[in-house]
């Protein structure tokens, strides 16, 4: 996400990828649900940032180096990335034929699955609250010590591909503009990250 360089895949990229993979060009209710599902797991991290940064006055280093790992915050983050909890909610929604809720849950689970694949030492407990197990992916989307250039490159490629797919779904200029802007911004971010990583001492 945009609030911390190493805490999640960028939230907007989750939304774009969710829409491209799980959405449908003619089912806008479903698209809204999977889009919201793509952003929802990061909601507690936005709350954390606002509270710790602006209410409690934590510095950037203290924020992400210490307070992020506070057990109470970690429990909240992991709750929103929990496969068992969201899986159970999805099963209930499917049984009750709450289609929008079911698609939202699918979007949340897909977000969490992508996080699982691209986090090394800052991932979530995806089986919370039943287990403290964390998967340490060999590839991080940000950490150069764990193939960060490859991980961030994967994210960039997914965002560009998602933007292209969503562009093809509509003739509306403002929607196409959003797709192009997102792909362009992520291209700039990725290029900047590459330059910073390769040139730092």
Predicted confidence (pLDDT) per residue in 27-54, tens digit: 989 999 999 999 999 999 999 999 999 9
Decide which of 186 and 54 is more confident: 54
CA distance 92 to 172: 36
**C-beta separation of 197 from 144 below 8 A:** yes
The pLDDT of residue 8: 42
Decide which of 183 and 77 is more confident: 77
Place of tokens 């907007």: 12
Peptide bond into 129 cis (omega under 30): yes
The pLDDT of residue 201: 65
Number of alpha carbons in the 13 Å side-chain half-sphere of residue 33: 19
Query: How far are the Cα atoms of 80, 84, 131, 171, 179 from residue 91, in angstroms, in the given order?
Result: 16, 10, 21, 36, 32
pTM for the full predicted model: 0.88
């Amino acid at each position: 996400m945009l609030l911390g360089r190493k805490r999640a895949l960028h939230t907007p990229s989750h939304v774009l990828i969710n829409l491209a993979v799980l959405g449908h060009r003619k089912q806008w209710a479903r698209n809204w649900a999977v889009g919201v599902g793509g952003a929802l797991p990061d909601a507690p991290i936005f709350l954390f940032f606002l509270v710790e940064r602006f209410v409690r006055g934590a510095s950037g280093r203290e924020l992400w180096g210490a307070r992020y790992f506070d057990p109470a915050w970690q429990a909240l983050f992991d709750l929103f990335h929990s496969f068992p909890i969201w899986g159970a909610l999805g099963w209930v929604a499917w049984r009750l034929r709450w289609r929008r809720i079911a698609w939202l849950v699918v979007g949340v689970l897909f977000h969490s699955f992508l996080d699982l694949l691209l986090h090394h030492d800052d991932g979530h407990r995806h089986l919370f609250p039943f287990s403290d197990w964390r998967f340490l992916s060999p590839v991080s989307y940000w950490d150069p010590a764990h193939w960060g250039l490859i991980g961030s490159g994967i994210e960039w490629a997914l965002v560009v591909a998602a933007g292209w797919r969503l562009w093809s779904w509509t003739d509306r200029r403002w929607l196409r503009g959003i797709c192009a802007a997102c792909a362009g911004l992520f291209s700039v971010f990725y290029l900047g990250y590459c330059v910073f990583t390769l040139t730092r001492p």
